[in-house]
Structure 1
Amino acid sequence: MTNAVQNASASGRAPANAAGAGDAAQAFVVPPVDVYENENAITLLADLPGVTRDQLNLRIDGETLLIEATASAASTPPDMELVYGELQCPAYRRQFTLSRELDAGRIEAQLRDGVLRLTIPKAEEARPRRIQVQAG
C-alpha cells in the first residue's frame, strides 16, 4: 500500500462503547479497498454493497480517515411476506492514516452502485514539478 495512505485498522470489532453506552461490542465487516495513485491524487475504491448515501459516514480526524456504513436489505415486495431470510445487513468500518502530503480538506466522495470512490488530492508542495533550467 502506498505511503500516502496506510491501513490503520482492519479490526473486526469495535470497542464496547463505540455503539453507545451499555451496548455489546458490535462486529464490523472490513470492506475491501483498492488504492490508486497518480501525480495529482490518491483514489480509494471501497466496496460497500447495499449502502446508500444516508447510511454512509465519512470522517477525518487529524490524519485519520474513517469510513463507516450500514447496509440495508432490499424491501419486501408489497404483496409478499418474508418467510425465511439469510441476508444480513452488515455494518462496515475501515480506518486509514493519511500522510501529510495529502490535502484532506479537498477530499471528493462519490457513492455509486455500492462502490465508494474517494479522491484525495496531493498537497501542492507534494506534487512533482518540472524545474526550468536556464542557460548561463
Structure 2
Amino acid sequence: MNEVDTTRARTPSESVGKSPASYVEAALTPPVDVVEDGTGITLYADLPGVSKDNLHLHVESDTLTIEAESSLSVPEGLQSSHTEVALARFRRVFTLSKELDTEKVSAELQHGVLKLRIPKMEQAKPRRIEVKAG
C-alpha cells in the first residue's frame, strides 16, 4: 500500500495572497498506522473531533480515500484565546495492493480514531498444503 496524496495544509498566514479557494480546499494529513497480518491490513487514522456523519471513505479501483471534517466548537458563552489548528478538514489517499479485497472493507470510528480493516483476497491468504502419503 502506497500513500498517494502528500498535500500539506496551509496555515492562514501562508494563504495570504493566495486565492480563498486554495485555503478552503486545503486539508490536514492525519497520522495513520498500518498493521499487516496474514489475513489483511488494519489502518488506524487519528481524526480528532470527527463524527461519523462528517467522515467519508471511498474505495475506487485500487485507491482508498479518507476525507473528514472535525466539528470541534467553542462552547456557547466562551471565546477561544488561542487556536493551534484552525483547519478542520482531513484528507489522505492510499494506493491499495491488488491482493486486498476492497469489497469487504469494514470501518469503525471510536474516540477520534478510525479503524479500517481490509482483508486479503482468499487466493492471496497464506494457506497450508496438505501432503498425502501413499
Scaled by the length of structure 2, what TM-score is found? 0.83
Q: 1:132 aligns with which of 123, 130, 133?
A: 130
- 3-state SS of the aligned residue for 1:125? helix
Counterparts of 2:132 and 2:82 in 1: how far apart (Å)? 72
For structure 1, the 5+ residue unaligned runs are: 14-21
Contact 1:73 1:88 (C-alpha < 8 Å) held by counterparts? no
Counterparts of 1:67 and 1:23 in 2: how far apart (Å)? 23
Q: Tell me by how many angstroms 1:9 deviates.
A: 1.3
Scaled by the length of structure 1, what TM-score is found? 0.82
Counterparts of 1:125 and 1:81 in 2: how far apart (Å)? 57
Q: 2:96 aligns with which of 87, 95, 98?
A: 98
Partner of 1:24: 21
Counterparts of 1:45 and 1:65 in 2: how far apart (Å)? 14
For structure 2, the 5+ residue unaligned runs are: 10-18
Q: Give the alignment of 1:1-136 within 5 angstroms.
A: 5-12=1-8, 24-25=21-22, 26-77=25-76, 80-82=77-79, 84-86=81-83, 88-136=86-134
- 3-state SS of the aligned residue for 1:53? strand
Contact 1:31 1:48 (C-alpha < 8 Å) held by counterparts? yes
Give the percent of matched residue pairs that are identical in Structure 1 and Structure 2.
Answer: 43
Counterparts of 1:28 and 1:133 in 2: how far apart (Å)? 54
Q: Paired residues, what number?
A: 122
Counterparts of 1:37 and 1:98 in 2: how far apart (Å)? 13
- 3-state SS of the aligned residue for 1:9? coil
Q: Tell me by how many angstroms 1:29 deviates.
A: 0.4
